[in-house]
Amino acid sequence: METQRLRIAMQKSGRLSQDSQALFKSCGLKINLREQRLIAHVENMPIDILRVRDDDIPGLVMEGVVDLGIIGENVLEEAQLIRASQGLPAEVKTLKQLDFGGCRLSLAVPDDVAYTGPQSLAGKRIATSYPGLLKRFFDEKGLNFKSVMLGGSVEVAPRAGLADAICDLVSTGATLEANGLKEVEVIYRSKAVLVQAPNPLNEAKQKLIDKLLPRIQGMQQARE
């Protein structure tokens, strides 16, 4: 389905939503984001904003269903690893790393467990929402582990007896502490990125992107 309007996907509600919205606004996009709407039309430019779950954004961009997306590198790279292993298209053009959405993906173990390095977790059960990134980390170390896939509540897995350790996103560490866990290894550092679909866009859309990018660049420099 080709459309003449540039389609940009952003997270509907969550940690990237406000900053994504602020970015559009600072680029001069006039958007009327009514609460329940999936698609918001930009009033002053031929752009539509799609608001979806962040997990859906990599696939939408890689399949060319939308032209641009704002997504955490953690979710993007995880999707790339999983999709590539399934033989699905997994390419995007990364246009810009953004200055928000910073977090790290870390290994954490119960407070009373001795940890001397990744080999301490060899053969252990690790709960995570990021099996691809976790496997890549252990593969690089030449170590085996058992992955327990959990979409949420990863931090309760050790206490519930579901896993020996977890691999989860951390920003302050308060959630880990509250669950009797200690962060022992950072395996991935992430920020939000602006990505473009791999297929060439029509001239009008590409021109619009070429006009928007320097505005984003300028705005980020101003904040540094």
What is the number of other CB atoms lying within 10 angstroms of the CB of residue 185? 17
Q: Which is nearer to ligand ATP, 76 or 90 (CB)?
A: 76
Contact 112, 215 (CB under 8 A): no
Give me 192's structure tokens: 């939000």
At a CB cut-off of 8 Å and minimum separation 6, what does 16 contact? 10, 54, 70, 71, 72, 100, 101, 192
53 touches ligand ATP by CB under 6 A: yes
**Closest by CA position to 54, among listed 41, 73, 40:** 73
Of the ranges 8-16, 87-95, 132-140, 212-220, which one interacts with ligand ATP (CB under 6 A)?
8-16
Q: Does 18 bind ligand ATP (CB under 6 A)?
A: no
**Subset of residues 187 to 206 that bind ligand ATP, contact rule: CB under 6 A:** 190
Q: How far apart are CA 185 and CA 122, in angstroms?
A: 14
Out of 3, 14, 18, 139, name the contact with ligand ATP by CB under 6 A. 14
Q: Do the beta carbons of residue 8 and residue 194 sit within 8 Å?
A: no
Is 168 in contact with 73 (CB distance < 8 Å)?
no
Site string for ligand ATP, 136-175 (x = CB under 6 A): ---------------------------------x-x----
Would you call 190 helix, strand, or coil by DSSP?
strand
Of 6, 9, 49, 54, the residue at the interface with ligand ATP (CB under 6 A) is 54
Residue 74 or 196: the one with the smaller Cβ distance to ligand ATP is: 74
| 179 lies in the binding site for ligand ATP (CB under 6 A) | no
Torsions phi, psi for 169 (to 5 deg): -75, 140
Quick one: what does residue 134 bind among ligand ATP, Zn ion, none, with the CB cut-off 5 to 8 Å set by partner type? Answer: none
Residue selected from 9, 16, 61, 154 as contacting ligand ATP according to rule CB under 6 A: 16
Size of the site for ligand ATP (CB under 6 A): 15
Give the footprint of ligand ATP on this chain (CB under 6 A). Answer: 11, 14-16, 53-55, 72, 74-75, 101, 103, 169, 171, 190
